[in-house]
Every structure is written in C-alpha cells, then in structure tokens.
Structure 1
Amino acid sequence: MEILTLTGVLAGSLGLTALARRYNLSAPLLIVVAALAVALIPGVPRLELEPELILTVVLPPLLYSTSLESSLTNFRGNLRPIIALGVVLVGLTALAVGFVVHLLLPDLPLASALVLGAVVAPPDAVTAVAIGRRLGLPRRVMAVLTGESLVNDAAALTLYKVGLAAVAGTAGSIGHGFLVFLVATVLGIGVGLAAGMLVVLIRGKLDDPLLESAFGIIVPFGAYVTAEHLHPFSPDFGGSGVLAVVSAGLYLGHKSLHASPATRMQDRSVWASIDVLLETLVFALMGLQLPFVLDGADGAARDNGTLAVTAAIVLGVTMLVRIPAVFLSSYLPQTLRLFGKEREAPSWRHLAVVSWTGMRGVVTLAAAAGVPLGTPGREEIQLFAFTVAIGTVLIQGLTLPLLIRALKVQDHDEAERDAVEELAARRAAMDAALAKLDELLPEMLSTVDITAERQARLHERLRRFVEMRFRFAEAAISLSAEEREASPQAAYAKARKELLVAQREALIAERDARRLDDEVLQKVLRELDLEELAQSSQLTSRLS
C-alpha cells in the first residue's frame, strides 16, 4: 500500500508542477499547500517521512545535480558570502533558536534546544532559486543562494550530531565539537575530490555516453555513504557526506567541459528528470507530515497554547535572525576583504532579498524525524521544526516575489553584458575555426584527386558556412525578444522545424504501411530529433 501511495503522491505532485509551469506559479508553494489540504482529509493513507530515506536517497542526488550545474569559478568568487551564510549564519541561527527555546521552556534541556536550533538552521534554496530564476535575479545573487544551499546542510547536520551527542552525554568540550566539524569538512571534501577524480579516470576509458551517465548516477550515493562511514580516528569523527557530494559534483561539473557532447546531453536529460521527480516528492512529503506532527503534539507534556506560542516565536526568530546577519556580514569593514582584496559591497536591495530567502525544507523535517526516541523534548522539536519549515515556505515563499518586484533588483544590464560576451566568444570560436580550416584543408585535400579550382570552391564553401553561422548568431543577439520572433532567422528556424515534422510524419506513415522496419525508423528518427534539439531551447530543470 505504501508503494501505491508513494506512486500516487508522485503523480499528483508532477501534475501540480505541470499546472504551475503552465500558469507561471510557484510549484513548491502549490505542492505544499495541496499536500497540507490532502493531509487533513480523513481516511487518506499516511506517508511518513523516513529520515534515512531522505538523507541517503533523496538529498545526495539533489545536491549533486545542483553542484554539477554550478560554476566552480563563481563558487570560488563568492566564497566569502557563501561561507558567511552557509556556515557562520547556520551556527548563529542554531545558537539563537536554542537559547530562545531554553528561555521559553526552562524545563527543556539546553542540549535538546540546541538540537532544535541545528534542525531549523539550514535554509533550502530550491524555492528561492526557482522564484529568483523566474523573476530574473542577478547572477551573483543566484550564485550566492545556490552556493549557500550546497554547504549549509553539512554545517547544520554536523551541529545536529554534536547536539545529539550532548543530549546523550557523550559530547566533549566546545573544542571537541569544533574538531568534529573540522574533521568532517576535511574528510568530506577529500572523499568527494577522490570520487570525482576516479570518475573522470573511468569515464576517460569508457568512451560510451550511456554508460558514462549511468555510472554518474551512482556517484552521489557512493560519495555520501563513503564519507559518512569513514571514521579513521574514532566513531566520533567522521566525514561529511554532504560535502563529499558537493565537492564531487563541483569537480565533475568543472571537468564536464572536456567530456563528449553526447555525454553532456545525456547527463542534462537524466539529471533534469531526476531533479523534478525528487523535488516534487520532497515538497509533497513536507505537507503530508501534518498528521504525524499533530499526533506528536497531542503526546507532548504541554498545553496547546504554550506549544502554539513557542512555535510562533521559534518561527519568528528563525526568519528574523537572518536579516541583520546578512547585512552585517556584508557591510562590516573587516568582512569586505577576501585574501587581502577589497570587494565592493553589494546593493542593500540585493541584501534585502537574500535576507528574506530563508525558506526551510525537507532536511529540517528529516533531521527532526530522526531525533532518537527518549530524547527530552522530541515531540516539541518535531512540532517546532514542522512549523518553521511550512511557515517559512508559505510566508517567505509567497512574499519573496513581491519583495523582488518592489525593490526592482533585476539587473537589466546583465542581458546586455551577456550579449557582448557571447558575441565576443562566438567571434573567437569563428576565428579559431577559420584558422584551423586554413591549416588542415590543404593537407586533407592533398590526398584527394580533384582540381585546384574545386579545392578552392570547397575551401570557400566551408569558410562561408562558418561565417554564416556567426552572422546568424550576431543578428539574433542584437535583436530584442519581439524582434527576434519576427526575424528572418526565426522564420528560417520555424521552416526547418516544419520540414522535420513533415519528414517524421512521412517516416511513420512508411512504418504503418509496413514498408519500413521499426529499428530503421528509430535510427532515422534519432537523427531528426537531434537536429531539432540543436535548434530548440535548452532543457528546463528544477521547479522553475
């Protein structure tokens, strides 16, 4: 029954995603609201969130895919704000929430309160990135948000383990906790880089796009499990599976520029589908946990009023502590230096948007669900974590688009800068192709028995082909979106597509008339599909 229920949840979530994309809505918000409504229907089968399933099966591929898509150059260029938000702010949030809860509920041990702080500390950037991409946030803001999401889970889960050890009475001093974090970081990054280098080596020997993509699917799981089970010194010290996955993804994404085009296309298709499937499941599971949280609240040794007020305060602290931290980390003079270089402070409008992108996700719920039985305040931790996760997604997720539009943070000059860079890159590519043509063609034609006149015509034809592609791209770049739709290039592309459709229909008709075998049909169709794909827009991934 659970498999059937899970299949139904996936199907419904994908349907809602399709609806959201059609009407330009936020898919995560729509899925969460629908899941909350379904969870309240009496008699609906319950689907409980399994922490191990989320942390070992769902989280690694999502982080890995994001890392593959991320620019290692941009990640390094924004390292300071990424560390400030993904590590320092996570620690500050955990401490702030922990001490506030301990003050409100003095009978709750401080260690349990700090576990709650670690649980609610890491934001999930999926919703923020989806909204930002749709509304055109500047690339640097998007790079910081994406980079933060890659490292904050590692920081929070390490603090979470230290907090649980303190609850169990097995934790050492603050220095011990810092050493645990340091070892987890070093081992995690080391395992990830080793995994990435091994994959590059193996892929170089395969030369088979299908096998290379299939092999790449196991990378996040292998890196995560290896790092998590690596304890070279003692059971207290292990690697961070999250950092292992992130470092492997960043390394392989950087190296993918040298992979074959077929492998890159295959990887994009595979991971785009995996992303959408897992992200829809994640947001549906968040809303469907409502009955379990309510059951836990009924079993808590406190009245509902105290729980409701405390949950609201925890939600408020979690959201509000991020706002001054974002501004202070950007404007304090000593933080404007990175490796001795002065960096221009970002606009306050950009910082305001970043400070309001603290939506929590399924990692918060998974960590809360994974709190061991018998932990003091376990029911309260799960209730408060659910309140923070759902509250931030609904409150900040619904108001973030309004904030982006009100502050007008879109970088309208970014498109112009991109056009200049693209044109320069295409010109450099054309010059390189023409230089290579002048170098290779005489040698190649020397082995062919044709006249000098035909050689010259062939040489000129190839030069015109390269130059024509550049002129088409140059004309398209210089046009606005409206002009581009009415341009000769658009008419040419539309005509090519119609011709491909006609060819495809003719081939299918031949097959239906039993004059063409299915295997031959599939071979020719693949060629037509690749030709159409070459002139179509890029694959869309994520819930945007």
Structure 2
Amino acid sequence: MSGATILMLVVGAIAIAAAARRYNLPSPLVLVVAGLALSFVPQIPNIELNPDLVLFGVLPPLLFNASLDSSYLNLRANVRAVALLSVGLVLFTTVVVGAVAFWVMGPSLGWPLALVLGAVVSPPDAVATTAIARNLKLPRKSLTILGGESLLNDATALTAYRVALLAAVGSGVSVVHGFALFGMAVGVGVAVGLILGAAAAWLLCKLSDSLVEVAIFLILPFGAYALAEHFEGSGVLAVVTAGILIGRKMPKMHYATRLQGGSVTATIDFVLETLVFGLIGLQLPSIIASVHDRSAAQVTLLVIAVTLTVLIARIVWMFPATYGPRKFSKRIRERDPAPSKAVIGVLAWAGMRGVVTLAAAYALPLTMDNGQELKGRDLVLLCAFVVVIATLLLQGLTLPWLIRRINLPVDEDQADALAEAQAAQQAAQAAVDRLEEIAEAELPTGSTIVDDLRTSAESRANAAWERLGPQDESRLETPSELYRRLRRDMLHQERTVYIQERDSGRIDDEVLRRVQRELDLEEAMLDR
C-alpha cells in the first residue's frame, strides 16, 4: 500500500468511527460492515493486508496500552482461569479445528496445514475483545478474565502457528521439538519483558521530563517485541509483561507523564483500532479471488464447519474448565467459588476473532522449503476471513443483547465508592496531619493558607462520600456536584475574558496559552 492509500484509509476509518460514536453504535462492527460494503465498489483499489504492518506496527502498541491498564492484582487472583483460556483453550481449539478441517478436505489440505489453520483461528483477538467489551456492563472478574485471555492468547496461538508451519513447509519438527520451541518462546518473551520493563520503570520513576517519558512509552513496545522475536521468543509476551510491570509502577511516576501519556495512548489506540477494523472488511475481493478454482460446495462446507467448530469449541471448553478444577479441589472451591452459568455463558460467547487471525493467515509463505507451491494456503485465508467476520458480527452484535437478557449482577460500583470514600478519608486525614506539622514549624499562627488547604483536603474526602449517593433524596445535586457546575460556569467566563483580551491585543497568545492550560487542568479535575 502507498502512503496516500494508507492516509485515505486512516481518514476514512476515523470519519466512520466518529459517526458511529456520535450515534452510540459499536464502531468496530460499523467499520467492518463499511469495509465489506466498500469492497464491492469497483473504483476501490484491491488492498491486501500486510502481516508485518499488523504484527509489528499495530499489535505491540495496542497490547502494551491494554497491559498498562490491566490490574496485576486481579490477574494474579484469576491466573488459573486466564491460563486455562489463553493456553488450554487455544491449544484445544487448534487441535479440534485442525481435525475438522482435515476431515472435510483430506489430503488436499494435509494435517500440518490443517493445524496451521487451527492455530490461526484459535485466539480471540485482543483488539476486538477490548474494543467491544470495554463498554459492556460485566462483572469485574469477567472483564479481568477476558482481558487477561486476550493479552496472552496471541502468544500461545502464534507459537503453535510457528510449530505447525514448520511442519507444513517441509521442515522436520517432532512433538518434543515443538514443546521445546514453545517453552523457549515463553521463557525468552517473559525474560525480555521483565528486563526491559524493569529498566524502563526505574528510568520513568527517576525522570521528571514528561515528553521524554511519553517517548519511552511509545518506543518500548516495539523494542520489546523486536528484541524477543530476534531471540526466537514471543514478542507478544514480552510486550504484555513489560506493560503489566510498568502499569504497576505508574502511580509512582510524574503526574504529567500520566496525564500526557494517557492522552497519547488513547489517541493511538483509537487510530489503530479504526484502521485495523476498516482493513478487515476490505480483504474480501482478494480472499474470493484466491479460491476461484476450488469446488464451491467443498469450500462452503469447510468454512461452515470451521466457523461452527470455533464457536462450539469455546462453549465446550468453558464449562468443564470452570467447574472441573472446583470439583476435584476443595481448596479451589473454598478460595474461588464457582461463577454462575450465566456468567460462563457470556464468557463462552465473547470469542471475537480479529486482525491478528488475518495477519497470521496472510503471513503464510507461498512456497514450501523445496520450492513447491504451498497448497491449501488459499483455504486458510478464506476460513480465517469468514471466522473473523462471523464472530465479529454474530457475537459482537448479540453479546450486549445476551448480557441484558440474562441481567448479570454487577454490584461493584457501590463497593468501589465505599472503598474510595474510606481511603479518601484516611488520605485527607494524613494530608491534614502533615499540613499541621509544616504549619507549626514554618507558618505564622492563623495563616489563611492553612485553612484553605485544610478545606481543600476535606472537600476531596466529602466528595468521595457523596458518590455513595445524596443523603437527602429530595436534592437533585450533591454539594460537590453543585460546586462543580458553578465552577465550570466561572471557568467558562474566565476563558471568555482572556480570549477577548487576546483579541484586543492587550495580552499575547503565549499568555493566553499558559492561562488556558491552567484553566483546562482545573476543569479536568472537576470532571474526574
């Protein structure tokens, strides 16, 4: 793709996503449908997905940013469930889909390439899952499990893909060798992520230059991915490990880094997500062209069988994987009570595939080691495309309906508000105690500064308690809400005056920008 084509894609995807957000529609699904529709327009050029663009240019920053926002404590508390999905389910799906594909196509596909197909379609996509699930009202534990699975399952799938591909192209690889490659990929990936993540976290905590720190955030995921892949490790695991480690250290970094870094990463996520979902639908012409000489009946049977197997395999795996460990372990039953069948049903239906599946399919070589054509590559491409479209549209469109239908109990908001209020009370008391110490040593008696600071600390604590709900149900606004509304009006008036002063030439643009930033930061605090 040329630079002009990429620019047109990005601009078009952002425009479609903006319209979808404006009307409260799921932008990933709208982008996929728009791409499919545009693929039928004759004037649209044939755009083939570049696997390097996705696996190296798009996946690392998206995984890294998602890892920064993940909870290390929640992931550790749910490590068994996450591992059963990100490793166990991926390998199970790889084998089952491979067996079904080989059963349908036989020698024309072959066992190795059938397993390649299984590995390609096995992992739910981190981009798709995050983009669709972030607005769904799910219990926090379910979101943690889905997020952890989507962060780690690509590493399992891409490693299994490598091993199966070696066999498909003619490179001798035994089962023992395959496990050795898998172990090396995991070990090297985690080691690289820990080393780079620890070094970057130390540096970020020492620096106080937010621009340099944000630049480190932007460079690190690409460096971790490239270094791990260079040493035959899992680049995905390296990026995720580094992101979780740095996310754990984020509260100790400079506040400007968190403010600017959050804005930058949110913008990057939005642009990259819109681009990849727009690209998915545009792949239709090249996919259809690749299978023009195949039997339509057999190809149709294959794609239907593979798609159904992908959907059913997750459901079949989910219930035994959830209830099996608890049945055989009293310790697990006591420490982690079984979730309801409704929750398991939602998790079983949240297996959207995405751009990583397509990128892995496109990355298949055209020829084997002996120079002969890799027969069956076109079938892998077609099945990957159909599975991605089917899961995105079928599961992505019905998942919100399913959640509303079964009415999942989500009661964390009140508990969070209570915990925050209690912590805010302790923090305010600690701040006031420190203020009293400093005031006694350095400030004159009766200083208004002390009273102002004490009032500010107490107001923050009171605001946290008010989020539990107004004490007087007849009041439409809590005192903090009233304060924020009035202060926003005052800030708007202040901005108006400063702009008028700039327009009249009495102050310079530089003065306006400096004051504007101060007013913006205060308004951002009001919106928290």
If the TM-score is normalised by the length of the shorter chain, which range does it land in?
Answer: over 0.9
Offset of 1:424 from its aligned partner?
Answer: 1.0
Structure-to-structure mapping, 1:237-386, within 5 angstroms: 238-299=232-293, 302-333=294-325, 342-374=335-367, 375-386=374-385
Aligned residue identity for 2:416: D
Aligned residue identity for 1:266: Q
Go from structure 1 to structure 2 and tell me whether the alpha carbon gap of 1:56 and 1:526 turns closer, same or farther (over 3 Å shift).
same
Q: Distance in 2 between matches of 1:137 and 1:336?
A: 28
What is the match of residue 80 of structure 2? 80
Identity of aligned residues (%): 44
| Partner-residue secondary structure (3-state), 2:124 | coil
Q: Distance in 2 between matches of 1:507 and 1:197?
A: 45
Aligned residue identity for 1:526: R
Offset of 1:485 from its aligned partner?
Answer: 6.1
Q: Distance in 2 between matches of 1:252 and 1:485?
A: 41
Aligned residue identity for 1:90: V
Q: Is the 8 A contact 1:124 1:149 kept in 2?
A: yes
- Structure 2 residue 488 is the aligned partner of structure 1 residue 517: no
Go from structure 1 to structure 2 and tell me whether the alpha carbon gap of 1:82 and 1:273 turns closer, same or farther (over 3 Å shift).
same
Q: Is the 8 A contact 2:101 2:306 kept in 1?
A: yes
Q: Distance in 2 between matches of 1:483 and 1:166?
A: 71
Q: Is the 8 A contact 1:192 1:248 kept in 2?
A: yes
What is the match of residue 541 of structure 1? none
| Partner-residue secondary structure (3-state), 1:48 | coil
- Structure 2 residue 52 is the aligned partner of structure 1 residue 60: no
What is the match of residue 112 of structure 2? 111
Q: Which deviates further from its counterpart, 27-36 or 401-410? A: 401-410
Deviations 1:350-407 (A, max 9, x none): 1000000111000000000010002220011101110101111111111111111111
- Structure 2 residue 485 is the aligned partner of structure 1 residue 494: yes
Q: Which deviates further from its counterpart, 511-520 or 371-380? A: 511-520
Aligned residue identity for 2:389: I
Q: Is the 8 A contact 1:131 1:401 kept in 2?
A: no
What is the match of residue 196 of structure 2? 195
TM-score, scaled to structure 2? 0.94
RMSD: 2.0
What is the match of residue 187 of structure 2? 186
Go from structure 1 to structure 2 and tell me whether the alpha carbon gap of 1:90 and 1:485 turns closer, same or farther (over 3 Å shift).
farther
Offset of 1:337 from its aligned partner?
Answer: 5.0
| Partner-residue secondary structure (3-state), 2:48 | coil
Deviations 1:245-279 (A, max 9, x none): 00000000001111111111111101000001000
Return 5+ residue gaps in structure 1 as ranges. 231-237, 538-544
What is the match of residue 440 of structure 1? 438
Structure-to-structure mapping, 1:128-277, within 5 angstroms: 128-230=129-231, 238-277=232-271
Q: Distance in 2 between matches of 1:47 and 1:336?
A: 52
Q: Is the 8 A contact 2:13 2:31 kept in 1?
A: yes
Q: Is the 8 A contact 1:39 1:288 kept in 2?
A: yes
Q: Distance in 2 between matches of 1:372 and 1:422?
A: 54
Match of 1:464 among 449, 455, 463: 455
Deviations 1:489-530 (A, max 9, x none): 323212211211121122122222222112122111111111
Q: Is the 8 A contact 1:129 1:142 kept in 2?
A: no
Return 5+ residue gaps in structure 2 as ranges. 368-373
Match of 1:419 among 414, 417, 420: 417
Q: Distance in 1 between matches of 2:523 and 2:67?
A: 28
Match of 1:526 among 508, 512, 517: 517
Q: Distance in 1 between matches of 2:319 and 2:81?
A: 11
Go from structure 1 to structure 2 and tell me whether the alpha carbon gap of 1:222 and 1:470 turns closer, same or farther (over 3 Å shift).
same
Q: Which deviates further from its counterpart, 128-137 or 3-12? A: 128-137
Deviations 1:171-228 (A, max 9, x none): 4221211111111101101101111111123224431011100121000000000000
Q: Distance in 2 between matches of 1:172 and 1:354?
A: 35
- Structure 2 residue 12 is the aligned partner of structure 1 residue 20: no
Q: Distance in 2 between matches of 1:25 and 1:511?
A: 40
Offset of 1:461 from its aligned partner?
Answer: 4.4
Q: Which deviates further from its counterpart, 429-438 or 275-284? A: 429-438
Q: Distance in 1 between matches of 2:326 and 2:417?
A: 35
What is the match of residue 370 of structure 2? none
| Partner-residue secondary structure (3-state), 1:25 | coil
What is the match of residue 391 of structure 1? 390
Deviations 1:327-366 (A, max 9, x none): 1101014577598774211111110000001110000000
| Partner-residue secondary structure (3-state), 2:135 | helix
Offset of 1:36 from its aligned partner?
Answer: 0.2
Moved over 3 A (4+): 125-133, 333-342, 457-462, 482-488
Offset of 1:459 from its aligned partner?
Answer: 4.0
Q: Distance in 2 between matches of 1:483 and 1:43?
A: 61
Q: Tell me the number of residue pairs that the alignment of Structure 1 and Structure 2 aligns.
A: 519
